[in-house]
Amino acid sequence: MSVQVLADTHALIWYLFDEGRLSSAGRAALDGAISAGFPILVSAVSIIEVIYLEERHRISAGATGRIRQACEAADPSIEIVPIDARVAHSLQLVPRAEVPDMPDRIIAATAMFLGVPLVTRDGKIRASSVQTIRA
């Protein structure tokens, strides 16, 4: 099993703020990455979603700041993966018919490009060809 993992937006939020919602497998994968010396990988689109959810008051204020602190720490526990041309081209690996929501598709394509499992509870992503760990 891969030590590095990519966290879906909800998995990241649950990991940081709502420990009870994350599955034991999801928590083990995220904790395992950090224990092995790897940061939790997060697509840049997840940061955009977190900012949007904060603005809409759907999650606690301060989530973006907490993520930023985790990224900027001397030993960062979160690493933001940029959306670049390589990730964009990887969208073709995630059929729109399987994962129609664009942010979800970008996150799934990021995991495919990196060759790491995606910690997610999203049923459409889990039913696709993307390697996942249940969040």
pLDDT the model gives residue 75? 85
Mean pLDDT of 95-106: 97
Task: Tally Cβ neighbours within 10 Å of residue 93.
Answer: 15
Mean pLDDT of 59-67: 89
Exposed/middle/buried for residue 71 (C-beta within 10 Å: 0-12, 13-18, 19+): middle
Can you name the residues that pair with 132 across neighbouring β-strands?
A: 118
Length of the chain: 135
Mean pLDDT of 62-88: 92
Task: Tally Cβ neighbours within 10 Å of residue 110.
Answer: 28
Task: Tally Cβ neighbours within 10 Å of residue 35.
Answer: 10
Domain ranges of the chain: 6-134
Rounded Cα–Cα distance for residues 18 and 11 (Å) = 9
Helix, strand or coil, per DSSP, at residue 48: helix
Task: Tally Cβ neighbours within 10 Å of residue 37.
Answer: 8
Is the pLDDT confidence value at 7 over 80?
Answer: yes
Rounded Cα–Cα distance for residues 99 and 108 (Å) = 8
Is the pLDDT confidence value at 1 over 70?
Answer: no
Is the pLDDT confidence value at 36 over 70?
Answer: yes
Cα angle 128, 94, 104 (rounded to 5 degrees) comes to 85
CATH of domain 6-134: 3.40.50.1010
Is the pLDDT confidence value at 103 over 70?
Answer: yes
Is the pLDDT confidence value at 119 over 60?
Answer: yes
Is the pLDDT confidence value at 122 over 80?
Answer: yes
Mean per-residue pLDDT over the chain, rounded: 94
